[in-house]
């Protein structure tokens, strides 16, 4: 599945990393992908990752 990050919308709540190890944080707490600084990644279909994307309260993560 393709996931996009919109850093401007992130409030560093921590839900995405709690649900999925696909996500990590920059030093300022803003979400990023664990293995790259890209804003768009093709990630494996996984229920935990989908839950992380759907649970983002500000829609900083989008399942394209």
User: Domains, the chain, ranges and CATH?
Assistant: 2-63 (3.30.70.20)
Half-sphere exposure of 45 (CA within 13 A, CB side): 1
pTM (2 d.p.)? 0.91
Q: What is the pLDDT of residues 1-59, one digit of tens each?
A: 999 999 999 999 999 999 999 999 999 999 999 999 999 999 999 999 999 999 999 99
Cβ atoms 10, 30 nearer than 8 A: yes
Cβ atoms 60, 52 nearer than 8 A: no
């Amino acid at each position: 599945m393709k996931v996009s990050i919109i850093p401007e919308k992130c409030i560093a709540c921590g839900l995405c990393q709690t649900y999925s190890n696909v996500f990590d944080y920059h030093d300022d707490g803003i979400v990023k992908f664990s293995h790259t600084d890209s804003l768009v990644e093709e990630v494996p279909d996984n229920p935990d990752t989908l839950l992380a994307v759907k649970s983002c309260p500000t829609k900083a993560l989008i399942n394209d």
